[in-house]
Structures are given as structure tokens and as C-alpha cells.
Structure 1
Amino acid sequence: MKLKKSFRLNLYLLFTVSIIFPIFLIFGIFTWYYNQQTVLQDRRHVSNILTSMSKNIEISFNELEHISFTPYLYKDVLGCMTYMKNGYLENRPDFLEVNRLEEVYNLTFTKLMYSSSNHILGIGFYPMSKQDSFVYQLDHNTAGLQTLSQPGYFSDALFLSARKAGGNPLYTPFHTQPGKYNSKEYFSIVRMIKDFDSQKEIGVLRIDASTESLKNVIDRVDIPGKSRVLLVDDLEHLIYSSGDIDPAILTQLSNRDTVSANGDSYLVTREKIPRFGWSLIYLSSKKDILISNAQTYLLAFVLMIFAVLISFFIYCRGSSKMVSSVSNILQTIRKIQTGDLSAKSTVKETNTELALISDALNEMARQLNDHIIREYKAVISQRNAEYIALQSQINPHFLYNTLNGFIALNRMGERDTLEKAILQLTHLFRYTCKNESISTVGQELDFVSRYLELQKLRFEDRLNFRISIQPEAEELEIPKLLIQPIVENCIVHGMEPQDDPIHIEISAETCTDALSGKCLRLVVKDDGLGFDPGSVKPASSRVGLENIRDRVELFNPHACFVLESAPGRGTQCVILFPIQK
């Protein structure tokens, strides 16, 4: 049922294009839009996190800046620093005064160091003295002020940067120093201290704070999966990371919104810490975002499939009647094509276009059947009349030729031969007098064989013949008295004019033709005088070859009659009848 399948397939394609494709398209657009909204929401969420982190870090830094501003708030602390600068260890003007200033210095910074939330590890002062060798250090875990020898600190990069900053605080990246603070990681804030009145440089105050306070600010935030928070300086150098970070990512950070590494992409969100030049960077893993959205996508996909299945079920229920009706109409059309005009289309649906088509098809088949019956009867009547007229030409012609042969036998005194010929003629007349226009190949060739036997009585050794018939061809139907006129022409035109001997071969077999398929092939061949087919006038052959050709065409319009002959080369007649399956 190719047409049925094609129609059903077209309906399925229509359903796919009109229902399934839009649903999947909507699902694709939904997932894309939801992912974009998730990314935007993630960016807003991350921005809020970074802002909160930035404020917490800024609070920590503000506290350290306030501590670094202590010399300007406590005159005795600034006075102690001034004595440290002037080298009071060598020339102490007043031991009691210096001792008092040292106590104030120690007490003030010790209180600040222990009360600070930044885990201050130590406070050091680098005086602008001529010696450039001694540093004064207070440690969290060591009592009292220590005088440490550190020659050449004037040329230290940090010291030079503090002088260049002109009193503004500077921060160092996270680092460790072997043996110092038990090798803990720390960062420092440095500030150049100046005299209020003269604005002369007194020295550099350095406050070392543990990184734990800043790490706690970052690590306190729950960072999912592969996402990371980075703390970088103004040159994009990494200060701290909340987890392991691929070095390839650090090389891509500069002014980019997306970076990639290890088969994953990361959204880059930045938050500047304005006063310090540092930046917080949040790397949001796109894989984490997709994984977090996976449940939503899965739920949406399941609901979409469920909706498609329901739509398909409703569609199949609704279209099955239409498909059945169309199939019924197509089957009826197919039967009509094969000639069954009695076929009727029965569409169960009423008051629909298909019902109207079904009724119109039935009415068309009825009218066509009536018309064909009328035309067929008229054509059959005409064809039978023509066929009878043609066949009526055969019997007198055959009888005329046969009686002429009897007269010749009588004149020659061949009375025994004449008697045998008359007996043969009675057998022939039994065949020809049957009121039938159709015969079988076997009956027709039996008749031809008797006819040739009759002629052989007359011509004796001058006439020889051979008849071969394939068993499969014996029961096939052909027009009655079709072969005999051809054989008669072989004798009359191929032998009698010069009274030469002649050999006639007759065969009947089935064959396969490239155009017509399986065919019945009848061949009548002689080695007589032959003739030029182009020189034969229609009037002279009207009762002979033309009669045979017309009868062949009337019996089967698709049959073929071929005549081949040449002077001195004999004649061959071939008739092909398509075998109806």
C-alpha cells in the first residue's frame, strides 16, 4: 500500500513540522534563554559576593591604615620615632624621657597589635638615620622592643616605594620569609612617617599582618565546583586563590570576560578594591552552571516529551478515521484502474470533504460503467460484423481453390487421389463449418496439416512440409483459419507459377519479447520463388495478406504481423500475439 504509506507518512511529516519541530525549537530557545538568564543572575550574584568581600577586605585594610596612622595620633609615639631617627642609642639626652617614650611606643602598638582583628604579626620601624643599619621591631610573640641590625635597607625596593608614595599607605603581596614569624605567610602595609611641622621624613612604619584574616574573608564564601575567587594586585599578579588555579588562566585574565582551560570555560567577574589597587576576580565555571541547570533542563525535557506524546496520541486518534477514509478511497480508485467498475467507496465519516469525494467517485464509476457498457456493446457488434465479413471471405476463397484442384485431378484421371482428396475435404469442412470465430493453436495447425495433406495428394513429391508446435502453445487461442491462407499463398505464389518443388515449415512456440513480455510466436516459412513485398498491389492481396493482417489486428490490437520476402529467397511470415496473464 505505497499510497497509503505515503499519505500517512505525509501526515506524520506534517505533524512533525507543525507540532514536534516547534516544540523542540521552543525547548532549544528556552534552554538558551534560561542559560543566558542564569549567567546574568550568576553575574549579579557573584558581583554582590565580590562587593561584600571587597568591603570586608577594605574594612580590614582600614583598620591597618588606622594603626599605621598612630604616630600622628599619639605625640609620644611620634617623639619616640624621632629619637630613633636621630640615633638616641648613642647620644641619649634624657634617659628617663626616652624610657617613657619607649614605654608609650611599646604599650600603644602592643595594644593595637593584640586588639586588631587582622592577626598582626609584627610592627617594624625603619628610621631615616644616617647609620642605615638598625630596625626597631615589635613581634606578637616576643615581649619588648627589639633592635635588629639590617644594613642597607635604604636601598630596599619596599623602602623606596614608601618614600615615593609620600605618606600614603602601600600594601605588599602575600609572602613568607624563612625564620620570620615561624615562616607564616603574611602581607605588609608600609607608610612613610613625617614630622608635622617640618614635613621631614622620620622613617617608614611597616605593619606585618597574617594572611589568615584576608583568606577568611574569601574562604567564608561557599564557592561551588570548579569556580574560584582570586585576589590580584594592580599588575594582575596573583595574591591569593580560593583553590588550585591553572597557570594558563592567569595569562588570559587581562581585560577578558571569558577564559578557558582544561576543557572548561570561565566567566570573569571583577571587583576593584579602589583604595588599594587590588582586585577580586570570580571565575564562574560554565560547566558548573550547566550542571546546576541540568535538573531544570531535564524536567523541561520530560514535560516536553510528555506533551509531544499526548499530542501524538490525540493526533493519531483524530487522523486514523481520515487515513482510513483516504485508504478506502484509494483502494476503490485502484480497483477502478484494474477495470472493476463495480467497486464502491464506503466512507464512514459524514458531511465531510472525504465523504463528498467518496460519493462523487462512486457516481463517476457508475456513469463510467454505463458508458463503457454502451460503447463496448457497440464496438463488439461492429467488430463481430467486420470479423464475420473477413472470415466469410476465407471460406469461399479456400473452397474455390480446393475445387479447382479437384477439377485438375479429375482431368488427369487421378480418381483414387480425387477420392482421398474429397474425404480430406469433408474433414476440413467439419472444422470450417463450426460456428466459431476463435480456435486454439493445436486445432488450427491440425487443420493446416490436413489441408497440406490434401494438397500433397495433388502435388506429390513437389510439396513437402513440417509442422512443429510447443506443448505450452497448443491451448492458446488465435483467430480461426489464420494460418491456412498463409500456407495457401506459399503454394499458389511460391510453387505453382513454375511448378517447382517447395518446402514449407510451420512452427508455434512461446517466447519473451522485450516490449510485450511473454508472446505466442507463429512462423510460416517456405523456400519458394518469393516476391517483392513493395510491388504487391493492395487490391490483389485484399483477400490474402491484407485479410490476415486485419484479422490479427481485430483479434488483438497489440499483435504484430511481419512479412519478409525477396525474389528467389522464399517467404517468411511471423505473427506475435501477447499472452494475457
Structure 2
Amino acid sequence: MKISRSLRSQLLILYLIAIAVPILTISFVIPYYYQYQIVHQTQELTDNTLNSLSNQIGTYLQDLGRLTIVPYLNDPIIQALKLITHGQYHTADPATQLKVNHALISTLPNYLGNTRDEIAGTIIVTLNGSLYAHSRYGSATVSDYPYQQKEWYRQAVAANGKVVFIATHPQDYLTNSGVPEVFSVARLIKDPDTQEPLAVMMADADHQILDRLIRQVRFHVQSIAVITDTRGNVLYANKPVSPGMLKQINQGSAFVEGTNDSFTVVSKTIQPSGWEIHVLLSNNALRSKVRWLYAAGFLFAVGGFVLTWSLFSILSRRIVHPFQDMLRAMRQVQRGNLEVRVQPSGDDEIAQLGKAFNHMISQLNELIDREYRAVLSRRNAEYRALQSQIQPHFLYNTLNGLIGLNRLGKQKELENAILSLSSLLRYSLDAGDWVTIDEEFSFLKKYCSLQQMRFQDRVDVVINCEEEVRHYLIPKLLLQPLIENTFIHGVEPCDDPSKIEVTAKRHRHAERSYLIIAIRDTGMGFDAGKDPGKTGIGLANVRERLEISYPGSSFQLESRIGGGTRVRIMIPEEEVRRNEDSHRG
């Protein structure tokens, strides 16, 4: 399935690039971009609106500040302040006192009240401590109130005649103010002629003016408007603001985290007061504007994936399945089944490939059949050649031995030798190509007995075969060249008695069972690096026959001059059984 997976993975990558990525882009990137544009445009619109609002509030504060110069525009008020500041009020005649009281208690408050409805009250504190206060709600002043110790009084004096904007504070100098908190403007009033300080005047304004200005503005999304003074304290907020949110605002954060929502902050400075106005745009409200677009994008993505995946699955199967059929056919061919064929449908490129594959298998089948027949013919020829070859000098020596036995009158030994030679010739010329190990070992015993007739006591031969491997089939005359080499290169050149041992057994190694055939002699030996040759088909022929008959077999030869020779053949048991089934079936 490796090719199939590779092809399918390539098709899947093509699908992801051509279909999935565009769908994801359309379904999620575009809504996100649209949300970004909405947020950006809302911020720009809010910034422009806030700029206009801050200008309105700034204009109002400037107008409020101008109210504090009213005393300069009314000479009776200035004269009244001079008399009181210089301590001349109590020594003046009743008519003068009446004018002073009328100017400070009636004229000034009425002028301010008629100018601005939101003026909650005015207060004038002369430098000698005299107090003149007016409240729109008719509240009385608190006795012994330490005006000159208050921050707003000190700020006004320090401003030296310039207007001072006072942050939100309670009218705690009145017994019943009528409003919980006010913001104010204050100014030090000076003698126009001598520039001598006369009094501090403060005008209090109700928050309703700020509320009215802010309510007139629409920010298009749910929002919170907050006005803070130069110290970061809240002057006004149309909705509650937690200390944590206020801290984030004062730190200049562009985004503020609330309890149940997060906010985008747009801020402006209100001139000339230096106050800040902040609008907190609800991110939940902003997201709600595009939530439907995300839902539509999600539905589009799901529908698009279902549709395109269905089409992809159908088309990919039509493309991949013919290749899978060819892969299965190839595996059958690998197992030796050359009769398998694919069934191409249609006349496209894949179908043409299937037809070409079928034609290739047919040609391969014919080629293998011809080659197989040629190999069988060659192997049969080799077997016949081996079976027909017994060394001339062996026959010569054997016949000489028979003549010697006859001259010595050893009729019984002569008869046995002739029978052994006849049996060897019959065995080698028999038409069969495969024999059991038991039959091959019987042949070797007869062969060795004839050789012992020549070498007498110079050689001792031991041949053993385990019972469980006697019935195993091996190629006929596979071991004869090895035994012949043993006599020629081991026993014949050695003056000392030699021993030849031939064994066959079953051995298990690395979880596999093997047939082990070992031939060992204690004769002269030879240089293993050189092919001893000149002994029938020779060792090369034995190796070739092993490789043809048992591809998984191994042939090991160890020999050294004066140290004997050892040959070890290992054949996997499953290959032995497979040949058994083939040649006995």
C-alpha cells in the first residue's frame, strides 16, 4: 500500500491546497478581516465623535471659566469686594452696606444663574475671611468652615488670577447642597487698579451638563464614557467603573479587561482643563456585529467540506483503486502466480496502463516458461554428466584391486567388491535426480569400502545419519565429489592413518531449523584458498547445485595443509521440505 498511500497523500495535498485552504480563507479569514475593519472603523468614528465631544466640553469649561470674570465687568461688585477686604464694610454707612450686600448677594448670583442653568451655586471668600455664598437650592453655609485650608482655595491663589478647574467634590460647605457632587471653576479676583488680591470666587456646576452632552452622542456600540481629572480620579462616568478598570485606563492601556467583558479604549484630552475623556467600546458588542458572519462562514465551511470531501473521495477512489488492483496483482506475481490479471475499465490512461500490465505479465510468463525449461534442461544435463562420471583412475585402481584379490585367491572379497562396483555404477546411471539422504549415504558407504580396499588400514570411515533426516531428499551424487576430494587430497598424500567422518543431522539456530551435513577428515588437507579441482565436477559444481536447489543454503569449507579438512553444508529445513513436496508430489 506504500504506492497507494503515496498517491492518495498527493491527492489529499492537492485537495487541501486547491479546496480546503480557499474554503478556510473564505470562512474564517474574511470574517476576521471584516471584524477588524468594523473595529477599526468604529474606533475612527468614535475618535472623531470623541474629538467633537471633547471640544464641546472644553468650550463649556471655557464659558464656565469666563463666568469668574463677571466681577471685573461689574464695578459695584469690585467696589464691594474692596470695602470688605480692606475692613471698611463695618464702618461704612447703612446705605453703603446695603449696596455691598446687594452686589454680592443679589446681583452676582442672579447674573450667574441667568447665564447658566446648571450653575448649582457660587461662593466668594475674601482674603480677610468674609464669605458670600449662594445656592440654587437655598442651602445655608456651614459655620466655621475652613475655606482657606481647602485645596481648591490654594490652587486658585497659586494660579494668581488664572482660572482653575476643580475636580468633582461634594458641596460640604453647604448644609443641604441638593446635589451629591459638583465640579467647579475658581479664580483669584484682583483689584483691577492695584492688582491686589481681593477674594477667591468659585462657581459650582452640576454633572447634569456632562451627562446631557454625552447622552447627545451615539457611539454605535455599547460603551462606557468616563471623564478623569489630571490625577486620574473619576469626574464623571455614565456607568460604574471598577477600580481595576480605572487603573488600566490611567495606565494608558488600549484594551481594558472588565468583569464580564473587555473594552477597546479611545481617549481624548479636554482643553484647557487637562482632563481626559475615555470611551470604552464593548468588545462583546463589537463581536456580536460579526457573530452572524462567523456562523455563516462556519456553515459554509462545513457544507463546503462535506461536498468537496464527498467528491474527492469518489474521484480519488476511481483513481487509486486501479493502482491498488495492479499492486495486488504484482504481489501475486511476486508469489509466482503469473496467471493473475487486472480488469481495466474504460479507455483512459489508467486503463491503458492496466492493459499494458496484463500484456507484460503474459510476456513475462512466456519468457519465464522458456527460461525455466532451459534451466531444467541444463540442470538435467549437469546431473546426467555427474552421474556418468566416476574418475577413470578410481575405476583403474579399483580394477587393479580386483585383479590383486583374484591373484591372492580372496574370492569372497573379490565378489563383494565387484557387487559394490556394480551397485555404484547402477546408482550413478539411474534416471532419478533426487534421492533420500539414506540412499546417498548407502552409496557413500559402498564408495568408501571400495576405497578402503585400496588404502587398507590407512583410513577409517564413519558414516552416521540421524533417524529424523533419513527421508529428506537431496540431489543425487551431491556428496560424492566431496568424499572423492577427501581421499585424493586428504588420505592419499598422508602417510599416517586417517579418519573420515560423515554426519547428517537436524539443527535449530536463530529460531530456524536446518539440515546439517558435515564431512571431516584428519588427512593431509590443502590450501583452502585454492580450488583443489581435478576431481570430477569439483567443489564449484557442488556449490552451484546447492545454490540452484536451495537458494538459502550455505557451503563452508575449512582446510589447511597438515590439519585436515572440514566441509559443512547448511540447508534451511523449509527448503528441504519444499523440494520434497515438489519431487514427491
TM-score (norm 2): 0.78
CA distance in 1, matches of 2:215, 2:53: 10
User: Cα distance, 1:326 vs. partner?
Assistant: 1.6
User: Cα distance, 1:476 vs. partner?
Assistant: 4.1
CA distance in 2, matches of 1:122, 1:21: 68
The alpha-carbon distance between structure 1 residues 244 and 45, as it changes in their structure 2 partners (threshold 3 A), is farther
SS in 1 for 2:341: coil
Match of 2:121 in 1: 122
User: Cα distance, 1:524 vs. partner?
Assistant: 1.3
Match of 1:273 in 2: 270
Match of 1:282 in 2: 279
1:336-366 Cα distance to aligned partner (Å, 9 max, x none): 3444333323232x23221222222222222
The alpha-carbon distance between structure 1 residues 160 and 549, as it changes in their structure 2 partners (threshold 3 A), is closer
User: Cα distance, 1:387 vs. partner?
Assistant: 3.6
Choose 65-74 or 2-11, whichever is displaced more.
65-74
Q: Percent identity?
A: 31
- State the AA in 1 paired with 2:339: S
Q: How does 1:192-211 map to 2 (within 5 A)?
A: 203-211=199-207
Matching of residue 573 in structure 1 with residue 567 in structure 2? yes
User: Can you give the 5+ residue segments of structure 1 that lack an aligned partner in the other structure?
Assistant: none
Q: How does 1:528-539 map to 2 (within 5 A)?
A: 528-532=523-527, 538=533
CA distance in 2, matches of 1:536, 1:312: 69
Match of 1:249 in 2: 248
- State the AA in 2 paired with 1:312: W
Match of 2:358 in 1: 362
Match of 1:7 in 2: 7
Q: Check the 8 A contact 1:133/1:153 in 2, yes or no.
A: no
1:228-272 Cα distance to aligned partner (Å, 9 max, x none): 53313356665344412336425523xx75678999986432233
The alpha-carbon distance between structure 1 residues 100 and 157, as it changes in their structure 2 partners (threshold 3 A), is closer
Matching of residue 411 in structure 1 with residue 407 in structure 2? yes
Matching of residue 521 in structure 1 with residue 513 in structure 2? no
- State the AA in 2 paired with 1:336: V
The alpha-carbon distance between structure 1 residues 509 and 225, as it changes in their structure 2 partners (threshold 3 A), is farther
The alpha-carbon distance between structure 1 residues 138 and 405, as it changes in their structure 2 partners (threshold 3 A), is same
Q: How does 1:137-536 map to 2 (within 5 A)?
A: 137-142=133-138, 156-161=153-158, 163-165=160-162, 169-176=163-170, 178=172, 180-182=174-176, 184-191=180-187, 203-211=199-207, 213-214=209-210, 228-233=224-229, 238-241=234-237, 242=239, 243-246=241-244, 248-249=247-248, 251-253=250-252, 257=254, 267-284=264-281, 289=286, 296-348=293-345, 350-394=346-390, 402-425=398-421, 427-452=423-448, 463-470=459-466, 473-491=469-487, 494-495=490-491, 501-510=497-506, 520-532=515-527
Q: Check the 8 A contact 1:77/1:101 in 2, yes or no.
A: no
TM-score (norm 1): 0.78
The alpha-carbon distance between structure 1 residues 373 and 85, as it changes in their structure 2 partners (threshold 3 A), is same
SS in 2 for 1:467: strand
User: Cα distance, 1:286 vs. partner?
Assistant: 5.5
Q: Check the 8 A contact 2:386/2:477 in 1, yes or no.
A: no
Q: Check the 8 A contact 2:405/2:411 in 1, yes or no.
A: yes
CA distance in 1, matches of 2:494, 2:75: 164
- State the AA in 1 paired with 2:327: L
Q: Check the 8 A contact 1:175/1:186 in 2, yes or no.
A: yes
Q: Check the 8 A contact 2:50/2:268 in 1, yes or no.
A: yes
1:533-561 Cα distance to aligned partner (Å, 9 max, x none): 678874x4345556545655665677554
The alpha-carbon distance between structure 1 residues 361 and 153, as it changes in their structure 2 partners (threshold 3 A), is closer
The alpha-carbon distance between structure 1 residues 235 and 537, as it changes in their structure 2 partners (threshold 3 A), is closer
The alpha-carbon distance between structure 1 residues 258 and 40, as it changes in their structure 2 partners (threshold 3 A), is same
Q: Check the 8 A contact 2:398/2:454 in 1, yes or no.
A: no
User: Cα distance, 1:62 vs. partner?
Assistant: 6.8
Q: Check the 8 A contact 1:122/1:207 in 2, yes or no.
A: yes
The alpha-carbon distance between structure 1 residues 477 and 181, as it changes in their structure 2 partners (threshold 3 A), is farther
Q: Check the 8 A contact 1:252/1:259 in 2, yes or no.
A: no
The alpha-carbon distance between structure 1 residues 94 and 198, as it changes in their structure 2 partners (threshold 3 A), is farther
CA distance in 2, matches of 1:225, 1:195: 52
Q: Give the length in aligned residue pairs.
A: 568
CA RMSD of aligned residues (A): 4.7
1:405-437 Cα distance to aligned partner (Å, 9 max, x none): 433332322212333344445554553342022
CA distance in 2, matches of 1:142, 1:557: 122
The alpha-carbon distance between structure 1 residues 474 and 353, as it changes in their structure 2 partners (threshold 3 A), is farther
- State the AA in 2 paired with 1:122: G
